[in-house]
Structure 1
Amino acid sequence: MTKQPMTPTGVEDKIEEVYLLSAPDLLAEANAIQADFKGWVADNFILSSSQEDYLDNLNDRISTYFGSQCSICFTNKLPIILIYPGPPSGDYSKWTGSSNTLDVKSEGGAEPVATGTLTFEFTYTT
């Protein structure tokens, strides 16, 4: 697969590419992002050195959470949106968050069935 820039358009293009995969390959990507969100992002996006550093330092619990959400979206081919405004000038803190409208259900051992949208948003505080 082609590495995309870590931009809203790059994420949209990557998701389109992932959703064109065969069912077994799509499941492999879903499993990969759930197992190692940070590694999957690094392997699939062109990152600046500051983005690489930020990703490397992302808390493991939040990384696991993000990976699980993405995995559910992948297997159900749900929209994943990135909101990534430019940083302010001067000193700032960067926050990564996700919000979703996911409705996820599963019948016993069956694969989860989901509807909705997942949104990642970067925000800044000065």
Structure 2
Amino acid sequence: MNTLTLPATEARTKQETTMTKSPLSPVGVQGKVEELYALSDEQIEHEADAVQRDFKSWILQNFFLSFKQRLYLSNLNKQASDYFGSQCAVCFSNRLPIELAYPFPPETDYSKWTGNTNTMIVKSGLDGKPVATGKLVFGFTYTV
């Protein structure tokens, strides 16, 4: 099993977080979320910061991707990547559910779309940090 060791804080303390790589599938995402939410508050904040800072790198470090998935991820523009990273960070910090809806692609030529839907309600707490409820669902859709 491949593992990735990440520092628990930017200052590289002796406390480290060991994260496994998961397949980019509904089951893999569920397992990754369970693994993340078992972390300490300090460790999960590190992960939230990392995914918000660089969504694409965080995905590459935490999921096994096929060549086509890597290519698709590399073509995701900054605005979309920043948006997805920000939403994931809020979910991580509040330990909200994150799901992946990944239908099988058509057998003919198609265009792939990545998007998300959410039922998140986000408010700023007394300390200025986001307090959220709801869930986030990433999904892939195809047009023929």
Give the TM-score band, short-chain normalised: over 0.9
- Determine the structure 1 residue equivalent to 2:27: 9
How high is the TM-score relative to the length of structure 2?
0.85
- Gapped runs of 5+ residues in structure 2? 1-18
Q: Which residue matches 2:99?
A: 81
Higher RCO structure, 1 or 2 (CA under 8 Å, sep 6+):
1
The CA deviation at 1:98 is: 0.5
What is aligned with 1:124?
Answer: 142
The answer to which structure has the higher helix fraction is 1
Distance 2:125 2:37 in 1: 24
Aligned to 1:61: 79
Following TM superposition, by how much is the alpha carbon of 1:2 offset from its aligned partner in structure 2, in angstroms? 0.5
- Aligned residue-pair number: 126
Mark the structure with the bigger radius of gyration: 2
Q: Does 1:28 align with 2:46?
A: yes
What is the match of residue 113 of structure 2?
95
CA RMSD of aligned residues (A): 0.9
Residues 24-54 of structure 1, C-alpha deviations (whole Å, 9 max, x = no match):
1100000000000000000000000100000
In the TM superposition, what is the alpha-carbon distance from 1:86 to its structure 2 partner? Answer: 1.0
Bigger share in strand: 2
Question: 2:15: which partner in 1?
Answer: none
Aligned to 1:110: 128
> 2:89 aligns to what?
71
What SS class does the counterpart of residue 87 from structure 1 fall into?
coil
Which one of 35, 39, 61 corresponds to residue 43 of structure 1?
Answer: 61
Using the TM superposition, give the Cα deviation of residue 60 of structure 1 relative to its aligned residue in structure 2, in angstroms.
1.1
2:84 partner amino acid: F
Aligned-partner Cα distance in 2 for 1:61–1:109: 27
Alpha-carbon shift at residue 107 of structure 1 (Å): 3.5
- Aligned-pair identity in percent equals 57
**In structure 2, what is the Cα distance between the partners aligned to 1:70 and 1:36?**
11
TM-score by length of 1: 0.97
